[in-house]
Amino acid sequence: MLTILKELWRFLRVRKKLWMAPIILIMVIFGGLLVLAQGSVVAPFIYTLF
Amino acid sequence: MYILGISAFYHDSAACLLKNGSIVAAAQEERFTRKKHDAAFPRHAINYCLSEAGVSANDIVNVVFYEKPFLKFERLLETYLAFAPRGFRSFLSAMPLWIKDKLFQKSHLLKELKQSLGTTVDWSDRLLFSEHHLSHAASAFYPSPFEKAAILTIDGVGEWTTTSLAEGLGSDIKVIKEIHFPHSLGLLYSAFTFYTGFKVNSGEYKVMGLAPYGKPVYADLIKKNLMHIAADGSFQIDMSYFDYACGLTMTNKKFEKLFGGPPRRPESELTQREMDLAASVQKVTEEVLLLLAKDIAESTTHRNLCLAGGVALNCVANGILERSNIFDNVWVQPAAGDAGGALGAALCGWHIHHSGERQITTNLDSMKGAYLGPSYSTAEVEAELLSCDAKFQTYKQDEMLQVVVEALIDNKAVGWMQGRMEFGPRSLGARSIIADPRSPLMQKKLNLKVKYRESFRPFAPSILREYVNDWFEFDGDSPYMMLVSGVSHDKRRVMNDNEESLFGIEKLNISRSDVPAITHVDYSARIQTVHVETNALYHSLISRFYEETQCPMLVNTSFNVRGEPIVCSPSDAFKCFMGTELDMLVVGSVVLRKEDQSGSSHSVYAGDYALD
């Protein structure tokens, strides 16, 4: 996981697309929550967010 | 040095193994899993490649994936941002999938490699990525017979690129120009595939087959409204007519308004309108292809052209390009679609990453006839057929050829499975259904009783290379069925006024030449030239058929039914044989006749596969 994130950071720097970093970060967090929500443990939390 | 190339996770997963730059084996995953266009990680294909070469995972120096996942993710994200707030719903539904499949694709690949090939190797040190269109360009140039050539790759979309113009010199490929998403000739064709009621990513060749029934009455409308085409062939799509960039369909309401109605419902009746739409998008595609070819010919001064990418499977356009004489020679990669990306990726690993030497095969090319898949010995064939409860007879090869020729003359449809399976979407005489092309009823019989597919679709001829010029307006090599050309005028049958006045699908029932089963309604045929150097047995069979009939060709269609991947093993072939109205099956020198089989072996087959 950490290696992939490091590589992604390097990729964004080389491509001069660091502005994407916060968007990706938010997507990863929300995406992760959505995946977790399938297990229903955090579903109520997601529900309040939306 | 062994290098493994992989394409996966979109459609047509495949694997290819190189030994010191030479192709040892290549196969599509769908042939093993029996799921058409299977996009899963190609573990079966990889295992086959390794067993064919007799090597273990430790021997593989590099695994090269055919595209760059981060770059693709970047395109997806930027496209949604560019079109926002349009596409918000599809963005929400697709986001978790992208994070898993694209952002973390490398870890996914490493996990799959571990599962398939064992944990003894640290694959993270050996895994490389090639760009999608560079993989296509490599698959087009490196196996070609040319020392230097212009390279044109056109498809739906890779990471960003949809069209690339490059040049190949020895072992180097230099990209000259690119056209980026969302401006895509492949996606324009796919949009019309969707609009005419066929499946995107598999129905494009049906649109191509339908085009000769129509007139290109919408071509100007397309050029005036949907796209701007510049003099150098570069183009820009007006995205206000399309929904593919960030929506869930290809076309939108504005598109429907322009063409006067909603998309045709899949499997509903085909009308003249769909045929005209098909003819129109086909014509525009041909025009753009010719302009792009002219541009790259002028900018590079090369006389050879190599083609790959999904649009290069459009053999009608390829035929026009070949006859245009813009280039002296045109070579098309037989696995021009994404499956061929596995081969291209492996070749990039060898020539670009390792600076490996390029051995040019000037006689034909380095593809070994595209016969790169599994083969079965007679003992294996017999054992597998016995386990299927099949009744068969094993002949000497010479006797088998005579038995098959007699069956063909007797108007039988024969399943023909010989040697190594083909790599790419075309059957080239290793996994083919063959028949007599002189029979006026053969096209209908094969379409409706054997292939269970739409009756408008034409069949292709396999013709001895030595006689191609006697029967077609073509005198070159087309070993991979990638070019369409006209039937010679002296073999054509002139239509009477009544027949001339027929429209659309009614044209199909008219016999148009001495070989009606392979003559399309516009007198064209998708030619496969058969060469003794690459498929001696198939060459012998057709030669013997020629001796008896004076006809040096056979009908050749893929050995499958609609929606089914082409057969791979003897049991696949037997299952297809028993589920269709094929009269005879020949696997190696083992011959099976339908009337000999027991009733319990018969199966209802047509409904087993989802329609393509």
User: Alpha carbon B517 to chain centroid distance?
Assistant: 21
* B76: chain A residues, CB-CB within 8 Å: none
pLDDT averaged over every residue in chain B: 94
Q: Are strands B127-129 and B161-169 parallel, antiparallel or unpaired?
A: unpaired
User: Which of B70, B81, B99 is facing A28, going by the closest CB pair?
Assistant: B99
pLDDT in tens, B265-292: 998 999 999 999 999 999 999 999 999 9
Contacts of B217 (CB under 8 A, 6+ apart): B276, B279, B280
Domain B2-66+68-129+341-366: assigned CATH number? 3.30.420.40
Mean pLDDT confidence for B233-261: 94
**Does the pLDDT value for residue A46 go beyond 90?**
no
pLDDT averaged over every residue in chain A: 78
User: What's the pLDDT at B131?
Assistant: 97
Rounded Cα gap, residues B563 and B542, in angstroms:
28
> Which class is B179-331 in CATH?
alpha beta
**Does the pLDDT value for residue A43 go beyond 60?**
no
Are the CB atoms for B509 and B199 separated by under 8 Å?
Answer: no
Are the CB atoms for B461 and B556 separated by under 8 Å?
Answer: yes
pLDDT in tens, B374-423: 999 999 999 999 999 999 999 999 999 999 999 999 999 999 999 999 99
Rounded Cα gap, residues B306 and B379, in angstroms:
41
Mean pLDDT confidence for B319-331: 96
Best residue of B91, B97, B103, B109 to probe chain A, by most A CBs closer than 10 Å: B103
Is residue B96 within 8 angstroms of chain A, CB to CB?
yes
Confidence band for B307, pLDDT divided at 50, 70 and 90? very high
Question: Does the B378-608 domain belong in CATH 3.40.630.10?
Answer: no
pLDDT in tens, B62-94: 999 999 999 999 999 999 999 988 888 888 777
pLDDT in tens, B332-377: 999 999 999 999 999 999 999 999 999 998 888 999 999 999 999 9
Please give the share of chain B, as a percent, with pLDDT higher than 90.
84
Structure tokens at B67: 């595209």
Would A49 be classed as within a structural domain? Answer: yes
Structure tokens at B229: 């085409």
Rounded Cα gap, residues B591 and B403, in angstroms:
9
Q: In what order do the strands lie in the sheet with B329-332?
A: B172-180, B161-169, B148-154, B304-308, B329-332
**Does the pLDDT value for residue B220 go beyond 80?**
yes
Which of B80-84, B196-200, B255-259 has the least mean pLDDT? B80-84
Tell me how many domains chain A contains: 1
Mean pLDDT confidence for B581-599: 94
ipTM over 0.85: no
Best residue of A5, A7, A11, A38 to probe chain B, by most B CBs closer than 10 Å: A11
Would A33 be classed as within a structural domain? Answer: yes
Would A50 be classed as within a structural domain? Answer: yes
Would A48 be classed as within a structural domain? Answer: yes
8 Å CB contact of B95 and A34: yes
- Classify residue B227 as exposed, middle or buried by CB count within 10 Å of its CB (0-12, 13-18, 19+): middle
Structure tokens at B455: 């009756």
Rounded Cα gap, residues B544 and B404, in angstroms:
10
**Does the pLDDT value for residue A48 go beyond 60?**
no
User: What's the pLDDT at A45?
Assistant: 56
Q: Which residues of A touch B (CB under 8 A)?
A: 1, 3-4, 7-8, 11, 15, 17, 20, 23-24, 27-28, 30-32, 34-35
Which of B7-11, B86-90, B175-179, B277-281 has the least mean pLDDT? B86-90
**Does the pLDDT value for residue B118 go beyond 70?**
yes
**Does the pLDDT value for residue A14 go beyond 60?**
yes
Are the CB atoms for B434 and B586 separated by under 8 Å?
Answer: no
Specify the residue for token string 């006209």. Answer: B486
Best residue of B99, B109, B122 to probe chain A, by most A CBs closer than 10 Å: B99
Residue A28 lies in domain = 19-50
